[in-house]
Chain A
Amino acid sequence: MTLEITQVDFLGRLLWALAIISGGIGLYELLNRWILLRARGKSLGLESALPGVPLLLYFTTPTCAPCKTVQRPAIRRLGEQLGDRLQVIEVDAAARPDLASHWGVMSVPTTFLIDASRRPRHVNHGVATLDKLLKQFNDLEKMN
């Protein structure tokens, strides 16, 4: 009997924990949407971008380890696959903190996928894998 009550208690707590964590993830998604909404109409840092071509705005810093080991190789492979269908702008957030603040960057790496009409469609805080970036790029193409 005690064992059953303990098991029910454990499962209940586990479900509560999952529900709270899911709520946190939901709030994080809302934050992402807000950052995208805030980034709409921003053009600072995009002066060198070619018009009419989707772009990936990549914020990094020189000593960001995951940027070097994971994010940059993923972006390089993405560039190899997509060629001139996607342009990449890399920003050193340490050298340009004004630009990082302007775009609402909270940590590095952060990547923005911006469509051909310069509307930010996706934001990734932390490392975004090649598959994820490809999926987001395909979303951009579908939206246009």
Chain B
Amino acid sequence: MSENLQKIDHSALRVNQAMIILLSILAFIFNQAWLALLVALVMGIGTLLNIPGFFWVYKRLLKPIGLVKPDVLWDNPEPHRFAQGLGSVFLLAASLALWLQASILGWGLVWLVVALAALNLFAGFCAGCLVYYWLTRLNVPGFRKSPPQGTFPGMRPKAKVYDS
């Protein structure tokens, strides 16, 4: 196991993705651009704090009542942080487009974020993480981490953290 890997609770990431999907779809159905902006801001703040934006939903609500159990894996936190930041930028661009009355572009970007979050939630594939690992391979400054051993770039690692 690489020394650089850290314990990452993937349940917190999945709750974050589910919240992004739910709120973004509600924003679309009820035509509430402010809700998409709110999701963008929560994701952006989460990126700055290095936690999933909707971490509090998991930590304060779903985990205490036992609805979601921790799923701690050895993983790199940086690609997930980058992916969330990328999603936040997409949603900020969507909000700007909606504010400028470019509805198709704006909602199209919202649905793109929904699709990528759903891909991560249901199939375990993080497209933003894949972009991060590509940038590492291209030696872009600031991108240093490689995927965990035996894991396809962007796929959820399978190595669990065991209590010792």
B49 close to chain A: CB less than 8 A: no
- B33 CB to closest chain A CB (Å) equals 12
A56 close to chain B: CB less than 8 A: no
Instruction: Using A13-B28, A14-B29 as known contacts, say yes or no to A62 and B160 having CB atoms under 8 A apart.
Output: yes
Q: Is the CB of A94 within 8 A of B29?
A: no
Query: How extensive is the interface on chain A, given as a class?
Result: 20 to 34
**Residues in B neighbouring A94, C-beta threshold 8 A:** 158-160
Q: Is the CB of B122 within 8 A of A13?
A: no
**Residues in A neighbouring B152, C-beta threshold 8 A:** 101
B118 close to chain A: CB less than 8 A: yes
Chain B residues with CB under 8 Å of chain A are: 25, 28-31, 69, 71-72, 111, 115, 118, 122-125, 150-152, 155-156, 158-162
**Residues in B neighbouring A48, C-beta threshold 8 A:** none
Instruction: Using A106-B123, A107-B123 as known contacts, say yes or no to A13 and B29 having CB atoms under 8 A apart.
Output: yes
Q: Is the CB of B122 within 8 A of A10?
A: no
Cα–Cα, bound, A97→B156 (Å): 11
Chain A residues with CB under 8 Å of chain B are: 9-10, 13-14, 16-17, 20-21, 24, 28, 31, 61-65, 93-94, 97-98, 100-101, 106-108, 125-126
Cα–Cα, bound, A24→B150 (Å): 28
25 contacts between A and B (CB under 8 A): A9-B31, A10-B29, A13-B29, A16-B28, A17-B29, A28-B122, A28-B123, A61-B160, A62-B160, A62-B162, A63-B71, A63-B161, A93-B158, A94-B158, A94-B159, A97-B151, A98-B150, A101-B152, A106-B123, A106-B124, A106-B155, A106-B156, A107-B122, A108-B158, A125-B122
